[in-house]
Chains A and B, each alone.
Chain A
C-alpha cells in the first residue's frame, strides 16, 4: 500500500498556444522517458492534425519515473488535455482520472477565457491546481503581472508558481518537485472489488479495443474476467500495461494507477468512454460517476465523394466514435449528394477536426454540408419537433413558430476593442447583458447570442477585429422564439437541397446575396450560362449568373507535346470526377462549403 504514496496522476490545462504540449515533452525528457535524440517535437500530439495546428485534441497518457530530491522514486502519470472550447468534454474525461492539474499561464498573455473554464472544471473535480508561468524567456514576459492576474481573476495563490520556459527547458525540475509536493497521492483499496474508469479507448487491429483506464479500487491482471456496467458482455483480460507513451505491458494494474486493458473486445459499440470496468467474480456494487452526457451543438451532413464509399465512411465514423463519444451520426440522404450521414458535433472546430481525420486517417474523400444548429419547431397541431437539417423542415403552412438555441457568451478583450466587439455582436443579433472590468487591461463582455449566428464565422471575426487579442467562450442557455425562414438555392432553376439553410428573416436578403456571389465565383464556368438564385418559399431574393465558358483550349499541340497534352486532358477529366451533377450543372465539392462564408471574399 505504501507504494501508492509514490504515484501522482495529473494533467495539464492551458489555453491554446500557451505551451502545454511543449511542457509535457520537457517533463518526459527530464524524467528520461524519451531520449532527446528520439524526440520529435511535441511527442504527445501524435495525430498529424494536432501537430500541424499546434493543438491537442486526443488525450495521450504517458507514465514517467522521477527520482525526487527526497531520494524517493515516483511514478508520474500525465494525461494531456485538449485546450479548445469545443473539447471541454474531453477535458472533463481526463480530469476525472487525476488528482492534480498543472495550470499553464503564458507570461506574455496572462489568463485567458478558456483557462478559466478549464480551471473551474478542475475545481469541480476536486483537483489540486499548480499554476506554472510559462514563456519567461520571451522579452515581453511579465511573470509578476501574470501571477497577480491568477490571484485576482482565478483566486488561486500563485506566489509559489514556478517560472519556466518549456521551450528553453528552464526550471522544469522545479515543476516535477512541485507536482510531488502539492498533488495528493491517489487513494484506493487494492483489496476492494475492481472499479476502473474508462477515460479513453481506441481500436487496434491486432488487440481489439484498447481501454484507457484509471483504477480506482481493486486490481486487474491478464486472465481476469471483466465486464462493464452498461453492457452484459464479459471479456478475458489479455494484457494490461502502462503508457510509455506507447503501450508497455505490465503484470498487474493496481488501484491508483493509470494504464490500459486489452481484452479482445471486438465490437467498438460495447464499451463506452465514461463507463466503469469491474470484475465478473467479485463485481463492485455500483459504477463510478462517469461523465456528463454530451449534447451535439453543431450538425452537418457528411457524404462520400464517391457514392460507393458509403460503407467505408460508416466504418470510419464508428472507429472515430470509439474514442470520441461526443461524435454522433445517423444515416441521411440528399438529392444532390446521395447517401451519407447527418453528424452532430460539440462545435465548429470539433466538426473540422472530424472532417480532417476522416480525410487523413481514413483516406476518405468527403463532402460536407453547411453546419446547422438544432431548431425547435412547433407545428400548428401543437406537435413539437427538433430539426437540424433544413431540408427536413415541415411545409411553412404547418409551422406555428420556430425556436432557436441561444447561448450566453463571455468575451474577454482589452478595452480598446470594445466598439468592434459590440458592433459584431449587434450584427449577430446579440443582446448585451453586462460588462465587467477585470483590471485596467481586460474587460469581460457578456452577451446573449443566437447559436446559429456564431457557428459560421463568429470566432474568426472576433479574432480579426481585435487582432487576436479577444477570446471567447459560450454555454447554451435554452431556446427562444424567432422569425426564421428556410432559404433555398437554385442552380439553373433546380433546388440544390444540400445548399438550403435556415436563416433569420432579417438576414435572409444579405445572406442570400452574399451566398449567390460566392457561389458564382466557386462554380466553374461551363459551356452554358448558369443562373444562381436564392429563394424563400417561391420568391427569388437574389440572383447571380455564372457566365458561359469562352476559352478552354491547349496551346500549340505539336509533335512531342502530345503525350504531355494528353495527360493534361486526362487530368482535367479526373477533376470532373470530383464534381457533383445537379441538374445539368457540374458542381465541385468545395462549393458546398461556400455557404459557410458570410462575407464576400
Chain B
C-alpha cells in the first residue's frame, strides 16, 4: 500500500489557528504553481516506477480555491505518471465557502471519490472567531451538493467559548447531511499564529474542558454509528480513510508541492515551506527537498509503536514480530507492567484502553527508547 499527497498552498484567507503552508495573497500564482507540481510528478516518475499507489490525497491550504480544471489536470497527471489503482481512494479537501455545483461535478468526473469538508463548528460566531470564511448555511449548501457522495467532515474542539453541546450539535449537523466520516481534533495553538495570543491570555478552554468536549463528542459519534479507529478519526463501517490509515501503519507515500512530506524506503523527506523557493527549484529543474532523514531500525520500531498506539486497533503483535523479529511482550515487559491498567493485552494485540486514548502520550512514551 502506498499513497500520494499533493499540497495546494492557497486559501481565500488564513484561519487564525493555521500554521500550515498557505499563502492567500499569492493566489494569482496558482496556475504556475500547478504547472510546477505536474513537473515535480514527472521528475519522480522513474524513481517510483515499481510502486502501486492506491490513495491520492489533495490537501492544503484550500484545494477548492483554485480553478477546478487545474485539479482535474492534477488527477490526470498523477494517473499518467504513476501506477494509480483503478479503485484508488482519491480525496480532496474543500472549504464550504469555495464550492459550486460545477466544481463538485468536475471533481467527480475526473475521478475524485472522497471529499473532506472543513466545517470545524456549526456555531457561526465561533466560525467567525477562528477566521473561517464560511457560515453554517454555506456548509449546508455544500453538503447538499455532496448528497450521495462519500464525504468526511472536520470538527474542531477547544475553541474559544465552545461547549460540549456545541460539539454535539456540530456532529449532529454533519451526520444529518450524510457524512460517512468525521475527524474530531483538538485545537493546537501554535506559536506564531494569531490564536496563540488567545492561548497565552488564557482565553481558550483548559485541558479539562477540552476533555469534556472530546468525551461528549465521542459519545455522540458512537451513538450515531461512527466508530473510532484513531484517536481523532471516526467512520461509518468501511468508510475509514485509507490514506490516513497508511500513515499510521508506517506505509510509504510521496508528497508533491510546498511543505509536502514523503516516506519512501525508510527515508523521510520534506519539501521546502517557501513558495518562492519551491518555484526556484522546480523552474530550474530541481526537486525542492530540504529535510531528509533515514530512519534506522530503532527509529522504525519507535515510529511503528507510537503510530499504532494512536489507533483503536493498537499494535498487531504478529506484525511487530514480522517487522522487527522480536516478541513485543518480552521486549517491553517493564513498560507493559508499569502501564498495566491503562493498556489491554490480548493474544493478538496490545492497545491503549478506550478510556485512556485521549491521554495517550503519557502511555506511549513509556514504550519509547530514550534516544535524545
Q: Is B362 an interface residue (CB 8 A)?
A: yes
Q: Are B359 and A527 interface neighbours, CB within 8 A?
A: yes
Name the B residues within 8 Å of A557 (CB-CB): 247-248, 307, 310
Q: Are B255 and A550 interface neighbours, CB within 8 A?
A: no
Which residue of chain A lies nearest to B342 when distances are taken between CB atoms in the complex?
A527
A505 → chain B, closest Cβ, in Å? 38
Q: A559-B253, A573-B370, A574-B370 are in contact. Are A550 and B303 (CB under 8 A)?
A: no
B285 → chain A, closest Cβ, in Å? 24
A527 → chain B, closest Cβ, in Å? 6
8 Å CB interface, A533-573 against B? 547, 549-563, 565-566, 569-573
Q: Is A250 an interface residue (CB 8 A)?
A: no
Name the A residues within 8 Å of B357 (CB-CB): 553
Which residue of chain B lies nearest to A586 when distances are taken between CB atoms in the complex?
B362
Which residue of chain A lies nearest to B339 when distances are taken between CB atoms in the complex?
A527
CA distance A576 to B302 in the complex (A): 17
CA distance A564 to B263 in the complex (A): 14
Which residue of chain B lies nearest to A548 when distances are taken between CB atoms in the complex?
B359
Name the A residues within 8 Å of B244 (CB-CB): 558
CA distance A305 to B210 in the complex (A): 34
Q: Are A562 and B307 interface neighbours, CB within 8 A?
A: yes
Name the A residues within 8 Å of B253 (CB-CB): 559
Name the A residues within 8 Å of B261 (CB-CB): 559-562
CA distance A476 to B255 in the complex (A): 73
Q: Are A572 and B361 interface neighbours, CB within 8 A?
A: yes
- Select which of A556, A560, A570 is within 8 A of B259 by beta carbon: A560
Q: Is B185 an interface residue (CB 8 A)?
A: yes
Q: Are B5 and A550 interface neighbours, CB within 8 A?
A: no
8 Å CB interface, B333-371 against A? 342, 356-365, 368, 370-371
Per-residue CB contact flags for chain A residues 69-86 toward chain B (1 = under 8 Å, else 0) read 000000000000000000
Q: A527-B356, A556-B232, A563-B268 are in contact. Are A577 and B370 (CB under 8 A)?
A: yes
Q: Is A420 an interface residue (CB 8 A)?
A: no
8 Å CB interface, B29-47 against A? none
CA distance A338 to B307 in the complex (A): 36
Q: Is A526 an interface residue (CB 8 A)?
A: yes
- Select which of A551, A556, A562, A570 is within 8 A of B368 by beta carbon: A570
Q: Are B370 and A550 interface neighbours, CB within 8 A?
A: no
Which residue of chain A lies nearest to B360 when distances are taken between CB atoms in the complex?
A553
A547 → chain B, closest Cβ, in Å? 8
Q: Are A569 and B270 interface neighbours, CB within 8 A?
A: no
Q: Are A552 and B255 interface neighbours, CB within 8 A?
A: no
Q: Is B223 an interface residue (CB 8 A)?
A: no
Per-residue CB contact flags for chain B residues 212-244 toward chain A (1 = under 8 Å, else 0) read 001000000000000000011000000000001
Q: A550-B359, A553-B360 are in contact. Are A569 and B247 (CB under 8 A)?
A: no
Per-residue CB contact flags for chain A residues 243-277 toward chain B (1 = under 8 Å, else 0) read 00000000000000000000000000000000000
Per-residue CB contact flags for chain B residues 1-40 toward chain A (1 = under 8 Å, else 0) read 0000100000000000000000000000000000000000
Q: Is B200 an interface residue (CB 8 A)?
A: no
- Select which of B302, B365, B371 is within 8 A of A572 by beta carbon: B365
Q: Are B359 and A549 interface neighbours, CB within 8 A?
A: yes
Q: Is B276 an interface residue (CB 8 A)?
A: no
- Select which of B187, B248, B270, B359 is within 8 A of A553 by beta carbon: B359
Q: A550-B208, A555-B185, A560-B268 are in contact. Are A526 and B247 (CB under 8 A)?
A: no
Q: Are B365 and A576 interface neighbours, CB within 8 A?
A: yes
Q: Are A569 and B368 interface neighbours, CB within 8 A?
A: yes
Name the A residues within 8 Å of B187 (CB-CB): 555
A91 → chain B, closest Cβ, in Å? 45
Taking each of A526, A527, A571, which has the highest tally of chain B beta carbons within 10 Å of its own beta carbon?
A527
Place the interface of chain B in its size category.
Answer: 35 or more
A285 → chain B, closest Cβ, in Å? 63
CA distance A555 to B187 in the complex (A): 7
- Select which of B247, B291, B342 is within 8 A of A559 by beta carbon: B247
B370 → chain A, closest Cβ, in Å? 6
Which residue of chain A lies nearest to B370 when distances are taken between CB atoms in the complex?
A573
Which residue of chain B lies nearest to A556 when distances are taken between CB atoms in the complex?
B185
Which residue of chain A lies nearest to B183 when distances are taken between CB atoms in the complex?
A556
B80 → chain A, closest Cβ, in Å? 23
Name the B residues within 8 Å of A573 (CB-CB): 365, 368, 370, 372
Name the A residues within 8 Å of B214 (CB-CB): 551
Q: Are A560 and B255 interface neighbours, CB within 8 A?
A: yes
CA distance A213 to B372 in the complex (A): 47
Q: Are A526 and B307 interface neighbours, CB within 8 A?
A: no
Per-residue CB contact flags for chain B residues 168-200 toward chain A (1 = under 8 Å, else 0) read 000000000000000001111000000000000
- Select which of B207, B268, B358, B362 is within 8 A of A562 by beta carbon: B268
Q: Are B306 and A569 interface neighbours, CB within 8 A?
A: yes
Taking each of A553, A563, A569, which has the highest tally of chain B beta carbons within 10 Å of its own beta carbon?
A553
Name the A residues within 8 Å of B208 (CB-CB): 547, 550-551
CA distance A572 to B361 in the complex (A): 8
Q: Is B331 an interface residue (CB 8 A)?
A: no
Name the B residues within 8 Å of A569 (CB-CB): 306, 361, 364-365, 368
CA distance A48 to B231 in the complex (A): 48
CA distance A563 to B250 in the complex (A): 12
Q: Is B211 an interface residue (CB 8 A)?
A: yes
CA distance A198 to B306 in the complex (A): 61
A585 → chain B, closest Cβ, in Å? 13
Taking each of B261, B262, B362, B368, which has the highest tally of chain A beta carbons within 10 Å of its own beta carbon?
B362
Q: Is B84 an interface residue (CB 8 A)?
A: no
CA distance A546 to B370 in the complex (A): 27
B212 → chain A, closest Cβ, in Å? 8
B166 → chain A, closest Cβ, in Å? 17
Name the A residues within 8 Å of B364 (CB-CB): 569
Which residue of chain A lies nearest to B310 when distances are taken between CB atoms in the complex?
A557
Q: Are B211 and A550 interface neighbours, CB within 8 A?
A: yes
B25 → chain A, closest Cβ, in Å? 24
CA distance A576 to B247 in the complex (A): 28
Which residue of chain A lies nearest to B190 when distances are taken between CB atoms in the complex?
A555
Q: Are A566 and B306 interface neighbours, CB within 8 A?
A: yes
Q: Are B368 and A553 interface neighbours, CB within 8 A?
A: no
B156 → chain A, closest Cβ, in Å? 10
Q: Are A570 and B372 interface neighbours, CB within 8 A?
A: yes
Q: Is B293 an interface residue (CB 8 A)?
A: yes
Name the B residues within 8 Å of A549 (CB-CB): 207, 359, 362
A448 → chain B, closest Cβ, in Å? 45
Name the A residues within 8 Å of B307 (CB-CB): 557, 562
- Select which of B248, B260, B306, B362 is within 8 A of A552 by beta carbon: B362
A149 → chain B, closest Cβ, in Å? 47
CA distance A555 to B183 in the complex (A): 11
A369 → chain B, closest Cβ, in Å? 27
Name the A residues within 8 Å of B255 (CB-CB): 559-560
Taking each of A555, A561, A572, which has the highest tally of chain B beta carbons within 10 Å of its own beta carbon?
A555
Name the B residues within 8 Å of A572 (CB-CB): 361, 365
Q: Are B356 and A553 interface neighbours, CB within 8 A?
A: no
- Select which of A526, A554, A556 is within 8 A of B361 by beta carbon: A554
Name the B residues within 8 Å of A547 (CB-CB): 208
A381 → chain B, closest Cβ, in Å? 47
User: Can you list 30 A-B pairs, Cβ within 8 angstroms, ordered by A?
Assistant: A527-B363, A549-B207, A550-B208, A550-B359, A551-B358, A552-B359, A552-B362, A553-B359, A553-B360, A555-B187, A558-B244, A558-B247, A559-B261, A560-B255, A560-B260, A560-B268, A560-B270, A561-B261, A562-B268, A562-B303, A563-B293, A566-B299, A566-B306, A569-B361, A569-B365, A570-B372, A571-B372, A573-B365, A576-B365, A577-B370
Task: Add 9 more A-B contacts to A526-B362, A527-B363, A559-B5 (CB < 8 A).
Answer: A527-B342, A527-B356, A550-B211, A551-B211, A552-B360, A555-B185, A557-B247, A566-B302, A569-B306
Q: Which 8 residue pairs of A and B lie closest in terms of their CB atoms, listed nearest first?
A: A560-B261, A550-B211, A555-B188, A573-B365, A552-B361, A551-B207, A552-B359, A551-B211
Residues of B within 8 A of A (CB): 5, 185-188, 207-208, 210-211, 214, 231-232, 244, 247-248, 253, 255, 259-263, 268, 270, 291, 293, 299, 302-303, 306-307, 310, 342, 356-365, 368, 370-372
Residues of A within 8 A of B (CB): 526-527, 547, 549-563, 565-566, 569-574, 576-577
